[in-house]
Structure 1
Amino acid sequence: MILEHADIRIDPSNASAFEEAIQRGASTVIGKAKGFRGYQVQRSIESPGRYLLLIQWDTLENHTVDFRGSAAFAEWRAIVGPFFAQPPVVEHLELVGQS
């Protein structure tokens, strides 16, 4: 399993609308993508306007090729993109340990 970590910054005054949009987009668009396993949206306590979107994928390619190369990616960006104060910083992670 691969964990996509997207660090998203928005204008804090748009928080309520963004939170609705990101959850709607993740459940209705990303949730239908090949290899999608689940997601979380975390809001920073110390940094208003900062969110982490964590998406579980079966493989790296399910995100980077299958989803990002699909029409669904444009649909997703149309839902959440207008809120971005800057482009999100996205990384992919592999689990090496847990308790």
Structure 2
Amino acid sequence: MILELADIRIQPGQQAAFDEAIQRGLATVISQSRGYRGHKVNKGVESPERYILMIFWETLEDHTVHFRQSPAFTAWRAIVGPFFAQPPQVEHFTLLSKSN
């Protein structure tokens, strides 16, 4: 399993609208994508315009090829992209250790 970690910064004052948009995009686009295994979204406390999006994919290619090179990526960006203050920083991780 691969963890996609996206550090998202949105425009100030757009938190309520972005909260709705990201949840809608996850439910209608991301969760329907090949290799999708789940997600988590965290909002910043000290930095309310910062979000950490974690999406779990079966393989790296499920994200980088099958999703990013599909019409679903365009649909996702149409929903959440207008809120971005800058392009999200995205990295991928594999699991090293886990607690219960």
Moved more, 62-71 or 7-16: 7-16
Normalised by the size of structure 2, how large is the TM-score?
0.97
Aligned residue for 1:13, secondary structure, equals coil
* Unaligned residue ranges in structure 2 (runs of 5+): none
Taking only aligned residues, the RMSD between alpha carbons, in angstroms, comes to 0.6
In the alignment, residue 92 of structure 2 is paired with which amino acid? H
The aligned runs of 1:33-48 (5 Å cut-off) are 33-48=33-48
Secondary structure class of the residue paired with 1:61: helix
Counterpart of 2:59?
59
- Alignment correspondent of 1:49: 49
TM-score relative to the length of structure 1: 0.97
Q: Which residue of 2 aligns with 1:93?
A: 93
Structure 1 gaps, min length 5: none
- Structure 1 residue runs of 4+, over 3 Å off? none
Query: What residue in structure 2 maps to residue 5 of structure 1?
Result: 5
CA offset at residue 11 of structure 1?
Answer: 1.9
Secondary structure (helix, strand or coil) at the match of 2:13 reads helix
TM-aligned CA deviation for residue 12 of structure 1: 3.1
